[in-house]
């Protein structure tokens, strides 16, 4: 991979990380605000529980993504970005453009999705 290409992917990863961190921060802030409010009746309380669970799910999903992005930035710095962690072949350019934090090439990702990796 060319250095300019690598730089572009790294930049995209850093930007995505910033976006996620902003969102994680926003969710935490709104959770803190919700906790301060007293739900006046059971209906409201039930609804606010659902909202909170949704926010937790979002946060945990985003945290997973954040971990993948951090790992991809590390690989970019160590010079093995764009190489499948399972088979060591180059990850397809189209895939990297769509998912720059991808750890696997398309073939290995399929195996993983099927639980065979």
User: Applying CB under 5 A, does 84 fall inside the site for Zn ion?
Assistant: yes
Which segment (25-33, 44-52, 61-69, 101-109) binds Zn ion by CB under 5 A? 101-109
State the residue for tokens 């991979």: 1
Q: Does 85 bind Zn ion (CB under 5 A)?
A: no
State the number of binding residues for Zn ion (CB under 5 A): 5
Query: CA distances (Å), 37 to each of 28, 29, 30, 31, 98, in order?
Result: 15, 13, 11, 10, 41
Measured between alpha carbons, how far is 70 from 21 in angstroms, rounded to an integer?
Answer: 12
Q: Smallest gap, in angstroms, from Cβ of residue 94 to Zn ion?
A: 15
Using CB under 5 A as the binding rule, whether residue 105 contacts Zn ion is answered as: yes
How many of the other CB atoms lie within 10 Å of CB of 30? 13
Residues that bind Zn ion (CB under 5 A): 84, 86-87, 105, 108
């Amino acid at each position: 991979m060319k250095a300019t290409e690598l730089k572009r992917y790294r930049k995209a990863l850093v930007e995505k990380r910033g976006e996620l961190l902003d969102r994680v921060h926003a969710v935490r802030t709104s959770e803190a605000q919700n906790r301060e409010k007293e739900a006046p009746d059971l209906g409201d309380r039930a609804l606010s529980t659902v909202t909170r669970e949704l926010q937790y799910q979002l946060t945990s999903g985003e945290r997973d993504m954040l971990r993948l992005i951090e790992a991809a930035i590390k690989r970019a710095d160590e010079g093995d970005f764009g190489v499948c962690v399972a088979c060591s072949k180059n990850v397809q350019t189209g895939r990297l453009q769509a998912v720059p934090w991808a750890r696997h090439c398309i073939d290995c990702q399929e195996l993983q999705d099927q639980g065979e990796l």
